[in-house]
Amino acid sequence: MRESREQGRLVVQPRMGFGDLATMREGLLGVRAADAAAVGTITLDSYTRVNDHDSARQALRTGAELNGFPLVAHGPVATRRLLGEVSGDGFPVQVRHGSALPYPLFEAMVAAGVDATEGGPVSYCLPYSRAPISEAVKAWARCCELIAAQSEPMHLESFGGCMLGQLCPPSLLVALSVLEALFFREHGLSDISLSYAQQTHPGQDLEAIAALRRLAGERLAGADWHVVLYTFMGVFPRTLVGSFRILEESVRLAVRSGSERLIVKTPAEAHRIPTIAENVDALEFADAIARDEAGRAARASTPAAGSGAGAAHGSGAESGDEVRATDSGVYEEARMLVDSTLELAPTVGEALIRAFSRGHLDVPYCLHQDNANRSRAYVDPGGMLRWAEPGRMPLRVDRGGTARRPVSAKGLLGMLGFNERRFDREQLTHGHFTSRPSISARSAS
């Protein structure tokens, strides 16, 4: 990451996982050979995520298809051998899993010599698990302490900036990412990253990432940290061109915001699990756009262009349009959520438990039993993601002089499809494209 940052390169990464060792090896070698500054990914299967390792072993014995790599079932020896064949100083591999109670997995990863992993006591509990958040906090504390005790600790990435994928306002995403990073620091880790997922308004996303970087700089003294951006994780465009355009917007957002790493998506993910070739294609497309954006920034005559902390040019569905970071108070709101949460208890872990039990932190539309689910958010006509109801969170909601009606089921579905419509509109109006858009034809100049 440091070498790429010094070279001005955006690191790109897929979300790829296969059940058998041979295909997983082929996938990692494909990513390593890509014409991009890429790191590898081993995404785990659903059985492993919930610690049902017997079912994963049974699937391996019978040849049943798995939706990811069963690391514990394969065992540390086989996983270490796999990593030894494909990874190295110039090609680290991150394990992505989705487990709320991952201690057995962390033991296996340590034994296998895994470079990096991700998650967190909130971000891998509330969206993916029925486990109480108090149990997740205890489990993740043990995991952090386990890897902190190693001579070469794994890198750990907070997934806190990606809650539910969409419809969580940026201030809460930023606050949760910072709080999980502070939790990691509390338990002995100093090699960490913070996440943020692309939402519905590029200017608001620029503001949010600037807020995340500012808070991380203020709170993570002594840590080696970077920011990872996720290409939109919600309802994806259905057309090929729409899919590449939203990926392009996320790449330009990553470069302009100073994010060091980008998790890409492929057009296939709106319909099925992508192939190795489709993952590599998306990585190379993202790398080419990143180099184009870096060149544009270098040629720009205004000092604001290319600045991750303030104004930026280009973005939106039409990449040539001028866009600037909004000024909606994301930093102030996120800082207030972080500070007021930390005041609830002497440790970050206990503060998180108390915050959710009181509704002091409340993820909108999240059905986990430990989440109050009283807060609500909406996408305004301009694409800004805003609070409709704060629940018991200490937030001031600007209603613009008119009280909003409760969000209906139809309204919620409409908001969930906002980016799908935004990027598909032109293609659906003028007919579907059936081939991959060329970088020169489809990226803004």
Q: State percent of the chain over pLDDT 70.
A: 89
Q: Coil, helix or strand for 96?
A: strand
pLDDT value of residue 435:
41
- pLDDT tens track for 26-39: 999 999 999 999 99
424 or 197, which is more confident? 197
pLDDT value of residue 433:
42
AA identity, residue 152: E
* pLDDT over 60 at 423, yes or no: yes
Would you give the DSSP letter of residue 11?
E
Window from 173-177, 239-243, 366-370 with minimum mean pLDDT: 239-243
* pLDDT over 50 at 440, yes or no: no
Measure CA 28 to chain center: 20
HEC profile of 235-250: CCCCCHHHHHHHHHHH
- pLDDT tens track for 52-62: 999 999 999 99
198 or 300, which is more confident? 198
User: With bands split at pLDDT 50, 70 and 90, how would you rate the model's confidence at 399?
Assistant: low
- pLDDT tens track for 327-346: 999 999 999 999 999 999 99
* pLDDT over 60 at 115, yes or no: yes
> b/e per residue, 345-355, with b = 16+ CB within 10 A?
eeebbebbbbb
pLDDT value of residue 402:
42
Give the Cα separation of 277 and 315 in Å (integer): 27
User: With bands split at pLDDT 50, 70 and 90, how would you rate the model's confidence at 311?
Assistant: very low
pLDDT value of residue 322:
65
227-249 average pLDDT score: 93
Radius of gyration of the chain from Cα atoms? 21
β-partners of residue 156 are: 117, 192
231-242 average pLDDT score: 90
Give the Cα separation of 144 and 70 in Å (integer): 21
Q: State percent of the chain over pLDDT 90.
A: 76
Q: Coil, helix or strand for 429?
A: helix
User: With bands split at pLDDT 50, 70 and 90, how would you rate the model's confidence at 117?
Assistant: very high
pLDDT value of residue 314:
36
* pLDDT over 70 at 405, yes or no: no
CB neighbourhood size of 398 (10 A) = 10
113-137 average pLDDT score: 97
Q: Is the pTM of this model over 0.95?
A: no
For helices 170-186 and 133-148, angle between their N-to-C axes, nearest 10 degrees: 50
Mean pLDDT of the chain: 89
Give one word for 391, left, alpha or beta, with left for phi > 0 and alpha for psi -120 to 50: left
pLDDT value of residue 442:
39
pLDDT value of residue 426:
61
Q: How far is CA 272 from CA 265, 277, 439, in A?
A: 12, 14, 24
177, 228, 242, 209: which is closest to 312 by C-alpha?
Answer: 209
209-229 average pLDDT score: 97
Whether the CB-CB separation of 160 and 122 falls below 8 Å is answered with: yes
